[in-house]
Chain A
Amino acid sequence: MDVTAVIREVLTEEGRLGLPLADIGDLDDLYKRGLTSHASVGLMLALEDRFGIEFPDALLAKATFESIGAIRDALSTLGVVGDTAPTSVE
């Protein structure tokens, strides 16, 4: 499973970013790209459904969802790993 691709898919559905996801790098700050706190919660719930996991309280922080890379790191601590694409270094 390409975890990054799934994150991007969920972000497209839930992020309400108003710009094409192709324009967003893995390390870009999603909040600066328009992710609101309410949209980040929708994103969190959708990721939980998609991966069958539950974010513990310790991960319910703004930083957890601030970039695609950060989300991938958080998911990996919950045992969600796969064929992750290399993190962009732009």
Chain B
Amino acid sequence: MSDPGPVLSSGARYRDELVARGLLLATGVDGLYGFSNDLVRLIAAVETYVSAAGAGKYEVLRFPPVVPRVVLERSGYVRSFPDLVGAVRTFTGGDEAHHALLRTLDAGGDWTAGLGGSDVALCAAACQPLYPTITPDLPVGGRRFDVCGYVFRHEPSSDVARMLSFRQYEYVYAGDELGALAHRDHWTEVAAEMLSDLGLDVAATLASDPFFGRAGRALTATQREGALKYEVVAATAPDAPTTAITSANCHLDHFCRELGIRTAAGETAHSSCVGFGLERIAFALLFAHGPNLAGWPDRARARLAV
């Protein structure tokens, strides 16, 4: 591993270092950054690398980063992760309400209190809007999808690998139970190889989602007991624990049961997905190989064409 620069004691100092180097553009809010020319190129290269791994084998679909609110409701996201949710509020009042809103704004108050709920929310996982669009009766062998998009997680942090808004590149399977497990296992292995091939020191580990509250602790225990989710972890910053840069998750029939999606044999379908965190992979690469892309190992540069 080449020297990433001075050793920094916290996520915030490392973040400030990347800002000082011009790779990140501060916005004033932790977890929201602009990206420099080099970082944009790097993230695009990571996307191309991930995209090539599934080329031709998946139906490519894209959805906006804003989804119908009902998508978060039916997927169980609001039930399991209320602390991570972002919903869109909009102004629908008349002149009087507008003036009241401006008075609050001018007084430095919370003008968003003058907004009302809407039918849309911020997408929390790239595959979320996909499931309701899958036709109820799957063909023999199931269906395989390639989705990618911006997601939102309300977990403000100065850790660069934990942003409020980031991109996930996912390969999703919906079909029978064994197919869903095979998809997850295949991609856990392939992702670890792909990321290792870029010179990252990675490990695949059993993982669980940060389900909320007491109910969440029970769900976490069940998820771990069932060995449903695996993460490929790597270092993304100095003096910090490793971070998941890719995860592969078997949902059992959680999504398909709610949506009435069935296998060709007529049974409730199962699903699984692998999600590559494009920015997190880029940050892991920057940390491993240093901020100067021209000085990176030849192999990583060749694989990513940077």
Contacts and interface: CB of A to CB of B under 8 A. Distances in A.
- Chain A contact residues: helix, strand, loop or mixed: helix
Contacts of B2: none
Nearest to B217: A60
Given A38-B79, A38-B254, A42-B215, 10 more contacts: A36-B252, A36-B254, A37-B226, A37-B252, A38-B80, A44-B215, A44-B218, A60-B222, A61-B225, A62-B222
B221 interface: yes
Interface in B53-93: 76, 79-80
Interface of B: 76, 79-80, 214-215, 217-219, 221-223, 225-226, 252-254, 257
- Chain B contact residues: helix, strand, loop or mixed: helix
A40 interface: yes
A3 interface: no
A57 interface: yes
A36 B255 CA distance: 11
Contacts of B225: 61-62
A57 B217 contact: yes
Contacts of A40: 218, 222
Categorize the interface residue count of chain A. Answer: 10 to 19
A52 to B, nearest CB: 15
Interface string A25-48: 000000000001110111011000
A19 B36 CA distance: 58
Nearest to B80: A38
